[in-house]
Amino acid sequence: MSSVQELGDRLRAGNPAFSAWCGLLEPGIAGLLAREPFDAITLDMQHGAIDLATLIRAIPLVVAAGKPVLARIPVGDFATASRLLDSGVSGIIAPMINTVEDARRFGRFTKFPPLGERSWGPHAAVALSGLSPTDYFTRANGFSIALAMIETREALGIVDDILATPGVDGVFIGPADLSIALSNGGVVDPASPEVEKALDHVLARARAANRFAAVYAPTGERAAVLARRGFDLIAIGSDITYLRTGAAQALAAARASAKGA
Ligand code: 3PY
Ligand code: MG
């Protein structure tokens, strides 16, 4: 089965799925990271430099490595969500879902009728999924995963309604923005006590609703902590942090051994 259809199964498998996070304007980075043992690759159009054409070019590279692609869309850009699904993305992460209407619009753009209002035109997705157009139409609502970001006080207050929205398959917590919101603009601290409490609350509500719970972790160490807490999907760091960490480690090792010689 093509990885285009597999994201939901990987999230339901019981082991937490770890995703790479890409924002640099080069599709080959996602293609290369897909060859590392990540469970999925996420490309970020909200804060990353990555544009629509670059993201669409990355999809076949990641699928060829047997991994599903997730994409974070810019705030409120639900039409782009449909377009990315048409290109073979398996999961959409929508930032700043702060009202029930935001959640409804998101669900409608990511699912075909009768559940939603996604328009027909998944030419690349049909090819990459290995399905006939008819089978793609029948199955896509089941394997295209829509994750609504919870990252404000408003979203926290309506998390049950967001989780109950038709077409929304789960939530994705943005702990950095949530920390800013919960400190009334005081601090960015993705592991603050207020955020920790909110993480537990949202995770419990997602479990009760039988929906996916996903979260962003700045480091692998933090991802391990969140995996033990029970999240289904954890996105780790970013391509820029992988580069910086790798560069810093290589240089530190070189300088240390040069001194020792
Ligand atoms: C946040 O932590 O606010 C995010 O959006 C994760 O990238
Ligand atoms: Mg955010």
pLDDT in tens, 118-134: 999 999 999 999 999 99
Report d(CA 245, CA 62) in Å as an integer.
Answer: 23
Ligand 1 lined by 48 (C-beta under 6 Å) = no
Active-site positions read: 47
Cβ of 174 below 6 Å from ligand 1: yes
Residue written as token pair 């807490």: 229
The pTM for the full model equals 0.97
Burial of 253 (0-12, 13-18, 19+ CB in 10 A): exposed
Indicate whether residue 44 lines ligand 1 (CB < 6 A).
no
The residues whose Cβ lies within 5 A of ligand 2, an ion, are 151, 174, 177
pLDDT at site 261: 59
* Ligand minimally distant from the alpha carbon of residue 198: 1
Q: DSSP readout, 42-96?
A: EEESSSSS--HHHHHHHHHHHHHTT--EEEEPPTT-HHHHHHHHHTT--EEEES-
Atom 6 of ligand 1: nearest residue by CA position:
174
For residue 114, say if its preceding peptide bond is cis, omega within 30 degrees of 0: yes
Average pLDDT, the chain: 97
Q: Read off the pLDDT band of 257 (50, 70, 90).
A: confident
| Over residues 149-168, mean pLDDT | 98
Greater model confidence, 77 or 260: 77
